[in-house]
Amino acid sequence: MSVAPADVAKIATLARIKVTEAELSAMVPELNGILAWVEQLGEVDVTGVEPMTAVIPNHLRLRADVVGADPLTGGDIRDKVLANAPAPEHGFFGVPKVIE
Amino acid sequence: MSELTELGIAAIRDGVAKGDFTATEVAGAFNAAVAEANPALNAFIVTTPDHALAAAAKVDAARSSGQPLGKLAGVPIGMKDLFATEGVQTTAASHILEGFIPPYESTVSQKLWDAGAGMLGKLNLDQFAMGSSNETSAFGNVISPWRATGDTAARAPGGSSGGSSSAVAARIAAAATGTDTGGSIRQPAAFTGISGIKPTYGRCSRWGIVAFASSLDQAGPMARDVTDCAIMLEAMAGFDPKDSTSLDLPVPQWSTNLSDDLKGLKVGIPREYRLDGLNADVAKSWDDGIAWLKDAGAQVVDISLPHTRYALPTYYIIAPAEASSNLARYDGVRYGLRELPEGAGLQDMYAATRAAGFGPEVKRRILIGTYVLSAGFYDAYYTQAQKVRTLIARDFENAFKEVDVILTPTAPTSAFALGEKTSDPLEMYLNDVFSVPASLAGLPAMSVPAGLDGAGLPLGLHLIGRPFDEQGVLNAGLAIERRAGFAAKPAKWW
């Protein structure tokens, strides 16, 4: 499978990355080169093979159901959460108008 | 006091404990070396001399009041700028995180400070750890302290932990943290004549490390020798409930159990790694490694890892897929850069922010990842890659029924010149051909220096072990280190 400029433009939209026409035309052959190379995986016989889900067997744990049990990941740190926001407003993350 | 910067972890820790010198003297010597070298090497994005001095003062005070000292007491290290450090800018070498000041400390860096280490600064790297030469950083290329004989061309320090490798090799840090997704500890270690180990996936907590490909990312030490790697890994590893993939296992005392007596050990030599046209110097150093391990008492066995040639294409589907998902968080809302063109709505802001903030390699991988995960292509690319990944892991499982450790070269060449491989992304990707398979299987693996090639540049040997068997990897690494007698250092030109 290979991608055309329109496909790359669509992927870029899905990925929320604005690309110029010049960037787009440079990316098409690069992405096609990489895609043609990874397509050799199609020749591997994977009949009956399960896709990898975890490289090292592990079990999922549940944390104790206690608010703020770990102060690093607990709540009540609004100002710290907002400290790096580009546009905090009234204790919230500020964003441009969403409803047209 | 320049001789203090010649010392590694064990020598500094023991010297401070004995009172041969103070931790403050050591921190001062390294701070001065960083200040002198960094304009030439660009290994650090920011330097933190006060952090190093404050940590040293604490160690000196603890010593004079007779309190017990930590595993890394008085050792000044560099911290890869992928680890969140409280109050100190953390960027992943990307413009999109420029100015980001974490309000918390990553688990691994906190453990290192708790062990008595101090921070010299935040080390440069490939942007979001995506690269093999440290040429994708938004803060400029890192220059290797190594130069080929009779040549002043700037060499790549390897990547993505290129600031780490450059700093340790140049003796401006006693050791450094690295992270390894497809070889980012081992390949830079090989390029610069130092040692580095990626432990079993899950040994070191990923909490507070900027995520690239979460099923592959692992932190590990980069240091002057195998013993220093073992000591530092003991301080970095350990269970962390904040990382769902953290291994709930005790941390072995790797450094005290080190032994280069390999009697009874079986070492596998995978025939698929002997590529057509393998660089002659690399092939010779591999043969040297085989002879050294035999000399240490090991039995060498020819093995097959039949799916090796599919490891790189598998990696270049899985890693970008995970990256495209992980990097969705950089949206200009919660932290980092925001680009808000006049009159733009939310969607335009996202797209403009990400266009301005990410470098070309990061964008390339996000687009590849988005494509292979998109409707209609997911099964053909992503599911197929995860199935082949199962087969690659199974190859190792089968091999480890016969052998205890596997020996290969770390990289297909010594350090290339900067700019040599930047025109074709695929050519750069091929540099990770020997390191990626162990990453896909989550196995512990390390690089140790083996010698110099014909151009006077370091070559590394690569050891891969069973899951959880860092000890086996470190012991085989020690056996090579003792026999290789690698003592070459880059001549100081900065």
- The domain A5-42: what is its CATH number? 1.10.20
Distance CA B382, CA B224 (A): 39
Specify which residues B302 forms β-bridges with.
Answer: B269
Specify which residues B462 forms β-bridges with.
Answer: B408, B447
Residue among B297, B298, B299, B271 nearest B286 (CA) = B271
Residue B366, min C-alpha distance to chain A (Å): 7
**Residues within 8 A of A (CB atoms), B 430-469 only:** 440-442, 467
Q: Is the pLDDT of residue A62 over 90?
A: no
ipTM score of the complex?
0.95
Contact check, Cβ <8 Å, B366/A15: yes
**B352-406 pLDDT, tens per residue?**
999 999 999 999 999 999 999 999 999 999 999 999 999 999 999 999 999 999 9
Compute the radius of gyration of chain B from its Cα atoms. 21
**A8-42 pLDDT, tens per residue?**
999 999 999 999 999 999 999 999 999 999 999 99
Interchain CB contacts (distance < 8 Å): A and B: 171
Q: How many other C-beta atoms lie within 10 A of the C-beta of residue B239?
A: 15
Token pair for B280: 């002659």
User: What pLDDT was estimated at residue B221?
Assistant: 98
Q: Are B49 and B145 in contact (CB under 8 A)?
A: no
Percent of chain B with pLDDT over 70: 100
**Average model confidence (pLDDT) across chain B:** 97
Where in chain B are the domains? 2-252
User: What pLDDT was estimated at residue B1?
Assistant: 45
Residue B74, sorted as left (phi over 0), alpha (psi -120 to 50) or beta, turns out to be left
**Residues within 8 A of A (CB atoms), B 36-95 only:** none
Q: Are B144 and B155 in contact (CB under 8 A)?
A: yes
Percent of chain B with pLDDT over 90: 97
Distance CA B66, CA B58 (A): 12
Residue B458, min C-alpha distance to chain A (Å): 30
Contact check, Cβ <8 Å, A46/B442: no
Of A3, A49, A56, the CB nearest to B247: A56
- Active site residue ranges of B: 80, 160, 184
Q: Is the pLDDT of residue B306 over 90?
A: yes
The pTM (predicted TM-score) of the whole model is 0.97
Residue B35, min C-alpha distance to chain A (Å): 29
Contact check, Cβ <8 Å, B345/A30: no
Least confident of A69-78, B71-80, B267-276: A69-78
Residue B213 touches chain A, beta carbons under 8 Å: no
Architecture of the B2-252 domain: Alpha-Beta Complex (3.90)
